[in-house]
Amino acid sequence: MIKKDDVKKILIIKLRGIGDVVLSTVALDNLRVDFPSAQIDFLTEKPSNLFLSKLPQIDNVILFNKGNLFDRGKQILEIRKNKYDLVLDFYTNPATALLSRFSGAKYKAGFPYGSRKSAYNIWGPTVRDKFHAAQLHIEFLKEIGLTHSSNNLYFDSNESDYSILYNELQRFISKDKLIVGISPSGGWESKKCNPEKFAKIADSVSEKYNAQILILWGPGDYDDVTKIKELMQNESHIAPKTDIMEMGACIRFCDLLIANDSGPMHISTAVGIPTLSLHGPTDPNLQGPFGDKHEWINKADLDCIICNLLECNRNHECFRDLKIDDVLQKVDLLINKNNIKIA
């Protein structure tokens, strides 16, 4: 096991989408308990570097080099020069396993997947699909003998840093009435609730709670966003174009968020906004919003639910046949348990 006094420099590795990286931040407070004065660096991909670089628990953010073998070899040499004592590979794909193997660290921790297991001398859980994606990181720390008591997620988007954005939003949205964010983003096409259904959900929420609807969007979402607005019978507002940090600030502006399984959904949980996630192909017990203040919904009686297909091979019934009344019941739960005031 790890001798904590030996560890002065730590490298965390987590690639993929921003939602996955947000979920990995659950490890940070735990690591700071065990290694209060250690240097903690984080290897990741864009755009996650933007928010990680603002977190006080992290000293340096390193961008993963996606180049050819020469570029990968160059990055391995750079990491060896940093002389890390502990590498925590929360991603464990062939590229990160190779990087871990040749990092020079005394302690190299990763998941025991096939031949990749040999890249490490300490291993996390054998089975990944027993735990929520955030909880999996906590179980990883537990498995290797480290503190695992904190459940805090992080995404830095302090209100004071976005006064211009908030002033713009307040030109058409009042903080005196309930503000409900709608996020149609989704990394896979099959994870996206269709605009027709999202428009009906937004209209129903607007009517039942006298809510203001703010439609959030990122790269590739604008066509869906404009269609949702056009299909709605009630007034709604499209958020301004934002980067990922400003997206977090827009989410903070809302009282609650309704979103697909996506990066914005996980950002919302990290910044503490009550969140309802809509699920079709993915398992909400593994990829849903993390924490007791949130809710999720899927059409559980559908025979193909949680298919994990990137593209639907049917008619997207998991979203098209989702009942509005069932969604509203979840919104009721969200409002009641978080004591959200409705004007």
At residue 305, the pLDDT reads 97
Identical fold between 4-143 and 159-337: yes
Instruction: Give me the CATH code for the 4-143 domain, please.
Output: 3.40.50.2000
pLDDT (0 to 100) of residue 284: 97
The sign one gets for the Cα dihedral 340, 297, 269, 194 is negative
Indicate the SS3 state at residue 63.
strand
The Cβ-side half-sphere exposure at 263, using a 13 Å CA radius, reads 22
**pLDDT tens digits along 277-317:** 999 999 999 999 999 999 999 999 999 999 999 999 999 99
DSSP state for residue 329 in the 8-state scheme: H
Give the DSSP letter string of 94-112: HHHHHHHHTS--SEEEE--
Domain ranges of the chain: 4-143, 159-337
Q: For 4-17, what is each residue's pLDDT tens digit? A: 999 999 999 999 89
Phi and psi angles of residue 109, each rounded to the nearest 5 degrees, phi first: -115, 130
- Nearest by Cα to 206 from 230, 184, 231, 234: 234
Looking at the predicted structure, is the pLDDT value of residue 64 above 90? yes
With bands split at pLDDT 50, 70 and 90, how would you rate the model's confidence at 343?
Answer: confident
The mean of the pLDDT values for the chain is 95
Reduce the secondary structure of 275-325 to three states and give it as a string: EEEEECCCCHHHHCCCCCCCEEEECCCCCCCCCCCCCCCCCCHHHHCCCHH
What pLDDT shows up at residue 1? 81
- Percent of the chain having pLDDT more than 70? 100
**pLDDT, tens digit (0-9, with 9 covering 90-100), for 217-249:** 999 999 999 999 999 999 999 999 999 999 999
Domain 159-337 falls under CATH 3.40.50.300 = no
Task: Quote the pLDDT of residue 68.
Answer: 82
- What pLDDT was estimated at residue 66? 86
pLDDT digits (tens, 9 = 90+) for 95-139: 999 999 999 999 999 999 999 999 999 999 998 889 999 999 999
Q: What is the mean pLDDT of residues 152-170?
A: 87
Shortest CA distance to 152 belongs to which of 54, 291, 33? 291
